[in-house]
Structure 1
Amino acid sequence: MAAFNKVILIGNLVSDPELKQTNSGIPVTSFSIAVSRRFAKQGDPVQADFINIVAWRSTAEFITKYFTKGKSILVCGSLQSRTWTDQSGQKRYSTEVVDEEVSFVEKKADNAAGGAINNSAPSPYSSSPKDVAFEEMSTDDDLPF
């Protein structure tokens, strides 16, 4: 059976990401993003889910250089569960998104770090059928099949 594990999230960083290194010198950062739920009962405040993210190598370096607390971020990765034993001997479980790709969400003028991609460009396609002019096509009577 084929497997597919892809997660795409847009949210805001809960705190400044901090770059660390493993014992073998590989850059890594772990952080959380707040992702607003799409629907809320009328009159209720919007709820958010807090998702743990881990990024490695150049992606970790990029995130810690250009993203800060409160900034919007787009994360593409895979969901991973792991277990470990903490210092007191308790078995712990964690589920997190392993970040494979990251992108700016805010407009360039809104991002103090600079270099952001402006994702607000208008679509080159019209969504209104009245704006499209169609020519009448001849019948298909002369087609050889």
Structure 2
Amino acid sequence: MNNVALVGRLTKDPELKYLPGSGIAVTTFTIAIDRDYKKKDGTKETDFIPIEVMGKTAEYCANYIAKGDLVALQGSIRVNNYQTQEGEKKVFTKVNTNSIKRLAASNKEVEKEYKFEPEAVDVFDDELPF
């Protein structure tokens, strides 16, 4: 099972791009999350987690969240491998996000949530007893 839930603040505004050919929206950003413990000097360490969002959720992120906003998200961890032109192998880890909700805004007033939903199905049936 590969499932992760995170709460953190955006370190900069999301970047929206569209995949060539398919035109699918892809937004990337990084969230900062403080670790649960303090060092001996009283400071906390912070992890910076790269996030990738696709489709309509990506467009939501580009329009409704910004640097400093506190967000909660759910997704899965992806590990990508690639090779540089010099032949050096690199590994890049990111969170591929399925749903996201802005919990607190830094400078925008609109609070909205977008979550991938299966296609709507009409479950109304006159024969149901309730």
TM-score range, shorter chain: 0.7 to 0.9
TM-score computed with the length of structure 1 as normaliser: 0.69
Distance 1:111 1:32 in 2: 15
CA deviation profile, 1:36-88 (whole Å, cap 9, x unmatched): 11111354212110101110011111111111111111111001111123344
TM-score computed with the length of structure 2 as normaliser: 0.77
Query: What is the root-mean-square deviation of aligned Cα atoms in Å?
Result: 1.7
Q: Could you say which structure has the greater relative contact order, defined with CA pairs below 8 angstroms and 6 or more residues apart? A: 2
Secondary structure, aligned partner of 2:31: strand
Structure 2 residue runs of 5 or longer lacking an equivalent are: 113-130
Q: Please tell me whether Structure 1 or Structure 2 has the larger radius of gyration of its CA atoms.
A: 1
Structure 1 residue runs of 5 or longer lacking an equivalent are: 118-145
1:9 — aligned with what? 6
Determine what percentage of the aligned residue pairs are the same residue: 33
Q: Which has the higher helix share?
A: 1
Q: Which has the higher strand share?
A: 2
Ranges of 4+ aligned residues in structure 1 off by more than 6 Å = none
1:92 — aligned with what? 90
The number of residues matched between the two structures is: 111
1:33 — aligned with what? 31
Aligned partner letter, 1:60? A
- Give, in angstroms, the shift of residue 30 of structure 1: 1.4
